[in-house]
């Protein structure tokens, strides 16, 4: 409690500035820091534990009660996607809003005042985390399938169409980015979570009205993601996905980006 600087051994040397020119912070390092920030708090860690826990439970249920002769690897992996669909956006939201709700932005944005770089690093880190989670869910699915084929003696269909794999990866990435976008746009964790669940749901209900059918096919993200997950994407399905993504990811990201870059950090 009485630490005092000793001039001879002091770590406060002021040498670094005069000896070596100071270079900027490499972007890859910012991404690593943002990635670490997503998992180094209790909230972030529990989020991942809950996600993998629910996925594992669902796989276990399929192993125990599924009709193991008909179940393919694709089914196992598909099953793990349900908890991820709900929870990955929340991971994104928490990563985006923590700087403001916990006010850590006061530190983050003084360490790197070029906020656009921090913003971009957060998005890349979120995508990277999403991909790790997806890889883990593939592994969990494969493990479940392996248990089913060996223990229960199912005949073991290891097929999983490339379309499904691609769709799965794209969809999960989109969920994370959507979470980040809503987080940046609202800069408030509960508000962003409620909005990211409520708004698309409300829109799905509105889209079910007869007069809104056409608009809904182009602008409903949940609906346009269905063919993506089932591996039945067509040219028009990609177009629907594109327009829906602009509305549900692009616009919040643009609004959020503008807010993060211009808002006063307090």
Partner 1 sequence: MITVENLTKRYGSFTAVDDISFEVTPGSVVGFLGPNGAGKSTAMRMMTGLTPPTSGRTLILGRAYRDLPNPARQVGVMLDAAAQHPGRTGREVLHLVGMTIGVPKDRVERSLEMVGLTSEEAKRRVRNYSLGMRQRLGLAGALMGDPQVLILDEPANGLDPQGIHWMRQLLRAYADQGGTVLLSSHLLHEVQIIADDLVMIGRGRIVARGSKAALLGAQGTRANSLDNDALAVAARAAGLEVSGDRNGLLIKATPEQVGRLALEARVVLTDLHTTGSEALEDLFLSLTAPDARDHVAA
Binding site for partner 1 (CB under 8 A): 1-5, 7, 10-17, 22-26, 29-30, 32-33, 36-37, 40-44, 98, 102-114, 262, 264-266
Q: Are 52 and 136 in contact (CB under 8 A)?
A: yes
Taking the least distance from each CB to partner 1, the nearer of 15 and 211 is 15
Taking the least distance from each CB to partner 1, the nearer of 45 and 70 is 45
Measure Cα distances from 194 to 31, 84, 183 in Å.
27, 17, 11
Q: Fill in the DSSP letter of residue 212.
A: G
Locate 42 and state its tokens: 């209790």
Q: What span, in angstroms and rounded, lies between the C-alpha atoms of 164 and 250?
A: 24
Which residue, 54, 82, 230, 76, is CA-closest to 154? 76
For the CA atoms of 199, 200, 205, 210, the dihedral, rounded to the nearest 10 degrees, stands at 120
Which residue, 121, 249, 266, is CA-closest to 185? 249
CB of 18 to partner 1, least distance (A): 9
CB of 255 to partner 1, least distance (A): 19
Taking the least distance from each CB to partner 1, the nearer of 98 and 221 is 98
Taking the least distance from each CB to partner 1, the nearer of 101 and 217 is 101
CB of 29 to partner 1, least distance (A): 7
Q: What span, in angstroms and rounded, lies between the C-alpha atoms of 179 and 175?
A: 6
Taking the least distance from each CB to partner 1, the nearer of 26 and 210 is 26
CB of 131 to partner 1, least distance (A): 21
Measure Cα distances from 152 to 63, 65, 140 in Å.
8, 11, 17
The sign of the CA dihedral 205, 208, 211, 215 is: positive
Taking the least distance from each CB to partner 1, the nearer of 12 and 235 is 12
CB of 173 to partner 1, least distance (A): 25
Residues in the chain: 266
CB of 149 to partner 1, least distance (A): 41
């Amino acid at each position: 409690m009485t630490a005092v600087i000793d001039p001879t051994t002091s770590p406060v040397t002021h040498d670094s500035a005069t000896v070596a020119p100071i270079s900027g912070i490499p972007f890859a390092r910012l991404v690593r820091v943002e990635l670490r920030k997503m998992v180094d708090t209790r909230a972030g860690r529990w989020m991942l534990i809950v996600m993998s826990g629910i996925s594992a439970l669902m796989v276990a249920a399929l192993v125990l009660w599924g009709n193991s002769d008909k179940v393919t690897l694709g089914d196992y992996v598909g099953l793990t996607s349900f908890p991820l669909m709900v929870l990955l956006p929340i991971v994104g939201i928490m990563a985006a809003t923590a700087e403001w709700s916990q006010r850590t932005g006061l530190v983050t944005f003084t360490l790197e005042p070029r906020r656009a770089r921090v913003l971009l690093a957060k998005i890349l880190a979120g995508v990277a985390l999403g991909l790790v989670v997806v890889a883990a869910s593939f592994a969990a699915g494969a493990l479940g399938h392996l248990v089913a084929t060996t223990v229960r003696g199912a005949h073991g269909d290891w097929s999983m169409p490339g379309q499904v794999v691609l769709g799965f990866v794209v969809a999960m990435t989109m969920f994370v980015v959507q979470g980040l976008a809503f987080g940046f746009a609202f800069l408030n964790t509960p508000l962003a979570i409620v909005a990211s669940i409520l708004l698309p749901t409300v829109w799905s209900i509105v889209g079910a009205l007869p007069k809104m059918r056409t608009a809904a096919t182009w602008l409903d993200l949940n609906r346009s993601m269905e063919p993506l997950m089932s591996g039945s994407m067509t040219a028009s399905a990609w177009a629907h996905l594109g327009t829906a993504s602009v509305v549900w990811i692009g616009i919040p990201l643009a609004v959020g980006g503008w807010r993060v870059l211009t808002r006063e950090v307090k």
